[in-house]
Amino acid sequence: MKAALLSVGTELLLGEITNTNVVYLSQELNTLGIDVMYHYTVGDNPARLAEMIEMAFMDCDLIITTGGLGPTQDDMTKEIVCQVMGDELVLHEDILESIRQRILSYKKEMTDNNIKQAEIPSRAVVFYNDAGTAPGFALDRTVAAEDGSETKKQYIACMPGPPREMKRMFERSVRPWLEGMSDGVLYYRELRCFGLGESDLETRLLPLIDGQTDPTIATYAKDGECSVRVASKRASREEAVEAVNAMVEQVREYVGDYVYSCDDEDLVQVVSRKLMEQGLTISCAESCTGGMFAAALTSIPGISKCFDRGLVTYSNQAKIDELGVRPGTLEEHGAVSEETALEMAAGVRRVSGSDIGVSVTGIAGPDGGTDEKPVGLAYVGLDFKGQLTCRKIDRRIKDRRRNRQHAMLTMLDLINRSIDTM
């Protein structure tokens, strides 16, 4: 099934609201085996909305709309969908009562325009809204095929625009409705990788990607890392799971050194879980990342069992005072060096008594680099129960945010690999 996402609202065209709905729905439809072909956005204009629906149906079997279901006069999605699909609006007394009760719970009075929200196309499947007042619905029509020899069904599902209402309606009502139309079961796993770019990842997997049918393999670039999605659509979930798992093992044969999760976990989730499972304590000393590592780790529930402290030692004096880095090391090798990173890691482990001390020092940019030490250079130090390790990062890009993000992920990656090998 091919789908188009149609977002309704002039505020979206004006840039007043970030359209997060299309991101969520694209991801969700992909897991259902529905190909999203187009993203459309149209303002609160009845003629343009009708034209856009007809245009989307030229190449798609399914349209999902968000927005335009509110009580005001410019909310015209239902009316235009009825016009295009050849139906008429009728009042649903049960929906009207549920809207009345919700408005009363808000300690507000029911108005005439609220009644409008209880009007639904007569042939529609109703999606009740337990997070707001605007119900959604699905409607279909039968049209002639292009060659005129047969007919086909076209479907449109309409949901409210506010993301909280839309997501809950999709999860509780729209997803089951879509699953009921599927002729198979889609199952996928996402492998997360760190340490190589998307082009390198794809090149390594070309023997598997070339000529693929089912399962399918797709690579994606994310912020500082990459992922591989392996998906299969089969008659039963058991068959799909078996096919995907077999392909995952083949993928690991080609890029296993870089895979840190086969279940779409973030690197910080993987590291935190291993720390908690093995009862390891950890502390960190950060310079160029300014506390990003500590913030990432402490976002994980339960990490207080393992995380002792995080020190931001940005200046040379702070490295000396808080971590015991030797002045001679800083004078001879500089703050951005392997020697300083190792003394920082050993120092934070010593002052905290943790099993693991991890550090980072670098030049995040966009300025401050030299020919000898360019922007993007960083060193990550690790003291794992007295065993010292250091990793050099030499990215040579001037994007401060990306350099800091990569340094933080490198800290996590070094810890992850060390836990596995120590």
Instruction: Give the model confidence (pLDDT) of 146-156 as tens digits.
Output: 666 678 899 99
Q: With bands split at pLDDT 50, 70 and 90, how would you rate the model's confidence at 126?
A: very high
pLDDT of residue 147: 66
HEC string of 270-332 equals: HHHHHHHHHCCCEEEEECCCCCHHHHHHCCCCCHHHCEEEEEECCCHHHHHHHHCCCHHHHHH
Q: Spelled out in words, what is the top-level CATH class assigned to the domain 185-261?
A: alpha beta
Contact between residue 230 and residue 262 where contact means Cβ atoms under 8 Å apart: no
Res 191 pLDDT > 90: yes
Residues of the chain with CATH 3.30.70.2860: 185-261
Q: Spelled out in words, what is the top-level CATH class assigned to the domain 268-421?
A: alpha beta
Residues of the chain with CATH 3.40.980.10: 2-179
pLDDT of residue 149: 63
pLDDT digits (tens, 9 = 90+) for 286-296: 999 999 999 99
Measured CA to CA, the distance from residue 419 to residue 281 in angstroms comes to 12
CATH number listed for the domain at residues 2-179: 3.40.980.10
Sole residue written with tokens 């001037």: 398
Q: Token digits for 331? A: 């004078």
Measured CA to CA, the distance from residue 359 to residue 407 in angstroms comes to 10
Q: Average pLDDT of the chain?
A: 94
Res 406 pLDDT > 70: yes
Residue 23 has what DSSP assignment? H
Res 352 pLDDT > 70: yes
Per-residue pLDDT, averaged over 41-51, amounts to: 96
Given the DSSP bridges, would you call strands 119-121 and 89-91 parallel, antiparallel or unpaired?
antiparallel
Helix (H, G, I), strand (E, B) or coil at 155: strand
Res 145 pLDDT > 80: no
φ/ψ of residue 325, rounded to 5: -65, 135
Per-residue pLDDT, averaged over 63-71, amounts to: 95
pTM over 0.85, yes/no:
no
Residue 300's alpha-carbon distances to 259, 304, 312, 321, 417, in angstroms, are 21, 9, 20, 30, 19
Q: What is the dihedral of CA 81, 84, 85, 87, to 10 degrees?
A: 80
